[in-house]
Amino acid sequence: MIITLKKETPQKEITRLIGQFESRGLRVNLIQGVNYNVFGLVGDTSHLDERMILSNQWVDNVQRVQAPYKLANRMFHPEDTIVNVAGIPVGASEKVVMIAGPCVVEGEEILCTIAEEVKKAGAVMLRGGAYKPRTSPYSFQGLGTEGIRELAAAREKTGLPVVSELMSIDRIEEFEENVDLIQIGARNMQNFDLLKAVGKVNKPVLLKRGMSATIEEWIMSAEYIMSSGNPNVILCERGIRTFEKYTRNTMDLAVIPLIREKTHLPIIIDPSHATGDWKLVKAVSLAAVAAGADGLIIECHTKPEEALSDGMQSLKPEKYAELVRDARRVAQAVGRDL
């Protein structure tokens, strides 16, 4: 950590600060410039709080040299992590994992039909929301427990492991028992109590990036889960909020090589939420595979125009099959399979 002091800082204060850092086991190097004095702290600074140091009136600037995450940090864990989801490996050079299904579970029959269709098209996991975060209290909020039951039934029928979003701590047992990959949604990325709770669960977690979360904050949320005891975290990018309104969100695929550089965790992409428009989903999916994504989670529905949520971004099974076929070619072009 590098701390810049104002040039008029009294010597007494400099000495006091050095003492304070040394008492925490850090070694302090001082650089004296014309207009500034700079401290370099050597040692483990991950417990220091930048904003607390900044509250000292003589401090002008604080910069972390080392990333604030440890367990997720590639530097301390150079090999790729492969997360096992009910037998399916995700990450490293494993096959690109195709996850598909409706935005929201609407009934057992329609869910099973969709599940069979996407399986036929090439999907290896089934997604579906039972508890739905909706902007309006007047929108359909999901089937709840009944939805989870229907997901389990669809898994029974098709053999596809299921992914579903957990919104609240009080449902955690239900999810641990019935869901193969527990999703933490974008709006809950910094619901820290929920992160700690899934950190104690014996199931892998799919952690979506928050709508306005920096990459660093996103990794720190993974760190919450990991430091609570659960190392099986898959990151999922779904676009961030920007001024652009032609798309629902703006998704920078540069996160794929970046996440690989900074962490050892698998990274999958959600082109449905990123674009919000089924017509754009295929191009973005192929791009994600070309950039090295470990998986794609895509909304599919047999009758999008009758879907109770987000039909606009849902692909019909035949379009999805086409996407899988083309994505496979792209995967092979970059030395991978799907």
**Which residues from 32-71 bind a second copy, rule CB under 8 A?**
32-36, 38, 40, 42-43, 46-47, 49, 51-52, 54-57, 60-61, 63, 65-66, 68
Closest CB 152 distance from a second copy, rounded Å:
22
Restricting to residues 1-20, name those near a second copy by CB under 8 A.
2, 4
Please enumerate in sequence order all residues whose Cβ is within 8 A of that of 210, keeping only pairs 6 or more positions apart, or say none.
Answer: 186, 187, 189, 190, 217, 218, 221
The first and second tokens of residue 85, run together, are: 């989801």
**Contact call for residue 169 and a second copy (CB under 8 A):** yes
- Considering the complex, state which of residue 145 and residue 242 has its C-beta at the smaller distance from a second copy: 242
CA distances from 294 to 78, 86, 169, 280 (A): 17, 16, 28, 20
Draw the binding track, 124-153, toward a second copy (x: CB under 8 A; -: no contact).
---------xxxxxxxxx------------
| Residue reference for tokens 């949520």 | 309
CB 31 to a second copy: min, Å: 4
245 binds a second copy (CB under 8 A): yes
Q: Residue 9: name the closest of 29, 32, 25 by CA.
A: 32
Of 264, 266, 275, 336, the one binding a second copy by CB under 8 A: 275
Does the footprint of a second copy cover residue 84 (CB under 8 A)?
Answer: no
Nearer to a second copy, 4 or 158 (CB): 4
Which positions ≥6 away from 248 have C-beta within 8 Å?
239, 273, 274, 275, 276, 277, 313
Site size with a second copy, rule: CB under 8 A: 111
The CA distances from residue 208 to 79, 115, 185, 239, in Å, are 22, 22, 5, 10
Q: Which of residues 213-242 bind a second copy (CB under 8 A)?
A: 214-217, 220, 223-224, 227-228, 239-242
What is the C-alpha separation between 142 and 308, in angstroms, rounded? 9
Tokens 């530097």 sit on residue? 75
Smallest separation (angstroms) from a second copy to the CB of 241: 5
Residues 302-321 that bind a second copy (CB under 8 A): 304-305, 307-314
**Category of 22 on φ-ψ map: left (φ > 0), alpha (ψ -120 to 50) or beta:** alpha
